Amino acid sequence: MIAFPPCKINLGLHVVSKRSDGFHDLETCFLPVPWTDILEIIPATQTSFTRTGTTIPGNDADNLCLRAYQLLATSHNIPPVSIHLHKVIPTGAGLGGGSSDAAHTLRLLNTIFNLNLSTEDLMNHAATLGSDCAFFVQDNPMIGRGRGEVLTPVEVNLKGKYLVLVKPDIHVSTAAAYSNIKPATPQHELEKILNMPIGHWKELLCNDFERTVFAQYPAIGSIKAQLYEFGAHYASMSGSGATVFGIFDSPIDVSQFSQHTVWTGLC
């Protein structure tokens, strides 16, 4: 059975407080984006993990697909599987690709082996694999709070708009990005801003990571400025970077970003 794990972008991201477990409470809107990996899982006599596509740092034995399998293999005694991942989504880019692969592994295993796990069960398992993972159990826009795993559905009206995602060849450490931030209570209600016409977003919808990340990597801030120059209604960094996205009325010529990895498509 095959799945197409999507990535996400963050529409607004506030780091609200530091918790006693070392993580941070945040408030963000997760928006799924159809820039996808390809994940195949089939029952087998022995469990294996193979990979093609773009490179993933670290050992295959630690891949989140295998960790997701091992989680359900332990709790639900499922038989061995052969997992193949074709990696397309840039890794460690603020796009949550690894988290999506993990969540989609849980979803596929639930279907293949008729485990009858509810969405809530799957989200609880996913949250143990990463803060962004629970969001990918359903592929709908969500407000994320807590560590990112407390999810509330939200309407985001971007129908007919074009998205451009630009990923420069810069790696920002998520843990370091969190530790460089001074948490603060958000000044505006996120749902209210998302309900406003997109013209208001530029002033009101902020990603708290941008200030410190742009100071360290000015090239990331320059991409955001360029997206506005090219007519974006709204542009922002996603997650802790380094991907920057822009929202446009119509397709733009993305060849101007040819030195970076780029995805473009309808929202």
Q: Is 23 in the site for ligand CDM (CB under 6 A)?
A: yes
Subset of residues 194 to 253 that bind ligand ATP, contact rule: CB under 6 A: 239-240
| 133 part of the interface to ligand ATP, by CB under 6 A | no
Which residues face 247 on adjacent strands?
A: 163, 234
The set of catalytic residues is 8, 132
User: Cβ(150)–Cβ(133) under 8 Å?
Assistant: no
Largest CA distance in the chain: 56
Residue 27 found at the interface with ligand ATP (CB under 6 A): no
- DSSP string over 136-175: GGS-S-EEEETTTTEEEE-----TT-EEEEEE-S----HH
Rule CB under 6 A: is residue 99 a binding residue for ligand ATP?
yes
| Whole-number Å distance between alpha carbons of 49 and 96 | 20
235 is in an annotated binding site: no
User: Of 233, 215, 8, which Cα lies nearest the Cα of 98?
Assistant: 8
Instruction: Rule CB under 6 A: say whether 160 interacts with ligand ATP.
Output: no
**Identity of the residue, 196 or 215, whose beta carbon is nearer to ligand ATP in the bound complex:** 215
- Asked whether residue 43 is marked as a ligand-binding residue, the answer is no
Among positions 37, 101, 132, 210, the unique one binding ligand CDM when judged by CB under 6 A: 132
Binding-site size, ligand ATP (CB under 6 A): 21
Is 216 one of the binding residues for ligand CDM (CB under 6 A)? no
Binding to ligand CDM (CB under 6 A): which residues in 27-56? 28
- Those residues with Cβ within 8 angstroms of residue 75's Cβ, 6 or more apart along the chain or in another chain: 125
Applying CB under 6 A, does 178 fall inside the site for ligand CDM?
yes
**What DSSP designation does 133 have?**
G
Is 98 annotated as contributing to ligand binding? yes
Residue 199 class from Cβ within 10 Å (0-12 exposed, 13-18 middle, 19+ buried)? exposed
Residue 181 lies near ligand ATP (rule: CB under 6 A): no
Query: Under the rule (CB under 6 A), what is the footprint of ligand ATP?
Result: 56-58, 63-65, 85, 91-99, 101, 132, 174, 239-240
Binding residues for ATP: 90-100
- Residue ranges of the annotated binding site are 90-100
